[in-house]
Amino acid sequence: MKDTKSLLFAPMEIRGVTLRNRIVVSPMAQYSAVDGFVTDWHFAHFAKFAMGGAGLVFTEATKVERRGLGTVGDMGIWKDEHIEPLRRISTFLKEQGAVTAMQLNHAGRKAGTYKPWDGFGPLDRTVPVEGQEHWPVIGPSAVEYLEGWPLPREMTKADIKEVQNNWVGAARRALQAGFDILEVHGAHGYLIHEFLSPASNKRTDEYGGTLQNRMRFALEITEGVRRVWPQDKPLFFRVSAVDEGGWSLDDTVVLACELKAIGVDVIDCSASGISIRSPTASRVAPKLGFQVPYAERVRKDAGILTMAVGLIVHPKQAEEILQRGQADLIAVGREILYDPFWPAHAARALEQDAEFKSLPVQYGWWLDRRKKTGYVEE
């Protein structure tokens, strides 16, 4: 092995949790749950990433209440019955040396859509969806996401309290399910982002208007979650660092400072989604690492750890982001769907794993032995 240690493969401590490296499996919805329950698909899906050597494996956006479902196949944690099958997954991931994180979310006015491969548009509410009842659409204001989408019912103060309590309840269940890290999903045009952005928040009470008022919902949820999430466990927050409806990077820096003050450890810097499809659904080609500058700015100006995400596909690219001090963690999404062993392959590419130790021993032992014996090409 080379002596030059890469940063990508340097362990990292956050509160009482130690990651074996800085590679994170970004939250990625599978649209394959039933009534919020994970299935064998999820077990196999998450298991691969832990076996592939990722330091941190995220669940997909897991819904804090049924009203928060985007599609009928979203994962949920709104009832105690959801806990046990999730615990089976977190236990296995930890046995494989990964740290586990759950992302909590509520779809807000984007609730009730078809799955991506069925068109992603709003559900036809005149017919049942996969045999399940429909669920109401709520949001900060009666402003629809896009033309033709349902008009959300403006949330009352009682609704706000109820949803916030459900967030806290979900955090408690995530803890019982054995997760090490929790992330509040405040991005991509979902409920928390809808409160933040002036495009979707037209309220005239203390939850709307000024930046401070628009941040209130997010901050209250985060405070509530932090209260029940143990002090030795990290809390992340995913932002859309900029959106197309008036939320700016300066606003994100202000938000990040406030979040830091109430106990958030990492800002996960994504972007967009308030009134257009997220960049992953876009047909326009973005540049490699197109969101990295957001992580860099937040890290510098809010003085908080950041996670970079968005078209980080090459090991060297990931390493350089860390070496340049642009972010502290590297989240990989679609590339790790293509290659769940991306971390192990990256370790080899960066000459950090001469003996295949980043693979499970059941695989690595054989590969190391084959390497030592060598083989003749023909």
Ligand X SMILES: Cc1cc2nc3c(=O)[nH]c(=O)nc-3n(C[C@H](O)[C@H](O)[C@H](O)COP(=O)(O)O)c2cc1C
Residues marked as catalytic: 190
Token reading at 312 = 């980080």
- Cβ 29 to ligand X shortest distance, Å: 4
DSSP state of 113: B
Q: Which of 11, 12, 20 is nearest to 94 (CA)?
A: 20
**Stretch of 21-29, 249-257, 259-267, 357-365 contacting ligand X, by CB under 6 A:** 21-29
**Stretch of 182-190, 229-237, 300-308, 316-324 contacting ligand X, by CB under 6 A:** 182-190
Q: Of all helices (H) and strands (E), which one includes residue 305?
A: strand 305-309
Which one among 7, 8, 28, 235 touches ligand X, defined by CB under 6 A?
A: 28
If you search the block for the tokens 């033309």, which residue do you land on? 147
Q: Which of 140, 26, 117 is nearest to 71 (CA)?
A: 117
136: burial class by Cβ within 10 Å (0-12, 13-18, 19+)? exposed
Contact flag: residue 103 with ligand X (CB under 6 A): yes
Distance of CA 363 to the CA centre of its chain: 29
**Of 165 and 280, CB closest to ligand X:** 280
Which one among 21, 27, 155, 319 touches ligand X, defined by CB under 6 A?
A: 27
- Cβ 153 to ligand X shortest distance, Å: 24
Which one among 60, 194, 251, 265 touches ligand X, defined by CB under 6 A?
A: 60
Which one among 42, 82, 106, 185 touches ligand X, defined by CB under 6 A?
A: 185
- Cβ 18 to ligand X shortest distance, Å: 23
Which one among 29, 241, 318, 327 touches ligand X, defined by CB under 6 A?
A: 29
Q: Which of 88, 78, 96 is nearest to 40 (CA)?
A: 88
**Of 236 and 356, CB closest to ligand X:** 236
Contact flag: residue 189 with ligand X (CB under 6 A): no
**Of 39 and 280, CB closest to ligand X:** 280
Q: Which of 347, 318, 359 is nearest to 26 (CA)?
A: 318
* Alpha-carbon span 207 to 201, nearest angstrom: 8
**Of 36 and 203, CB closest to ligand X:** 36
- Cβ 164 to ligand X shortest distance, Å: 20
**Cβ(201)–Cβ(194) under 8 Å?**
yes
Token reading at 368 = 């190391």
Q: What is 227-254 written as a DSSP string?
A: HHS-TTS-EEEEEESS-TTS--HHHHHH
Contact flag: residue 61 with ligand X (CB under 6 A): yes
Contact flag: residue 70 with ligand X (CB under 6 A): no
- Cβ 315 to ligand X shortest distance, Å: 13
- Cβ 334 to ligand X shortest distance, Å: 4
DSSP state of 165: H
Contact pattern for ligand X over residues 246 through 275, marking x by CB under 6 A: ------------------------x-----
* Alpha-carbon span 295 to 272, nearest angstrom: 14
| Subset of 268-327 contacting ligand X (CB under 6 A) | 270, 280, 309-312
- Cβ 354 to ligand X shortest distance, Å: 27
Contact flag: residue 113 with ligand X (CB under 6 A): no
Q: How far is CA 328 from CA 75, 296, 322, 335, in A?
A: 28, 9, 6, 19
DSSP state of 5: -
Which one among 68, 122, 139, 333 touches ligand X, defined by CB under 6 A?
A: 333
The CA-CA-CA angle for residues 225, 227, 232, to 5°, reads 95
**Residues lying near ligand X in the complex (CB under 6 A):** 26-29, 60-61, 103, 185, 187-188, 238, 270, 280, 309-312, 332-335
